[in-house]
Amino acid sequence: ETGVTQTPRHLVMGMTNKKSLKCEQHLGHNAMYWYKQSAKKPLELMFVYNFKEQTENNSVPSRFSPECPNSSHLFLHLHTLQPEDSALYLCASSPWPGFDTGELFFGEGSRLTVL
């Protein structure tokens, strides 16, 4: 399998549930990202990890909890979400821009609906 893979593709959850989104990249990249895409808004960067270390947290509410156990896997743990958190959550990866082009590659996204 190649590229960036996200599971699940679709998720419906209640506000009291706990769920997780998973992302896996097979490109040998060291940086991984979570983006949120809501209707009629630009992509919002949520978190960035470089070599498993978090380098960016874009003031994301604590009900979103990222986890990066290694350079190939990234999780987004979700708990007590709000209906306004419904969106497409996109995972991406890139090589470290300092040593390569820094080209960004995306997964297919996880469509989250919070009831």
Q: Which residues bind another protein (CB under 8 A)?
A: 4, 6, 31, 33, 40-43, 45, 48, 50, 55-56, 88, 90, 92, 94, 97-98, 101-109, 111
Q: Which is nearer to another protein, 8 or 102 (CB)?
A: 102
Minimum distance of another protein from residue 106's CB (angstroms): 4
Minimum distance of another protein from residue 40's CB (angstroms): 7
Q: Which is nearer to another protein, 79 or 111 (CB)?
A: 111
Q: Which is nearer to another protein, 1 or 16 (CB)?
A: 1
What is the DSSP secondary-structure string of 85-108?
G-EEEEEEEE--TTTS----EE--
CA atoms within 13 A on the CB side of 66: 27
Inter-CA distances, 79 with 21, 52, 76, 104, Å: 11, 22, 10, 28
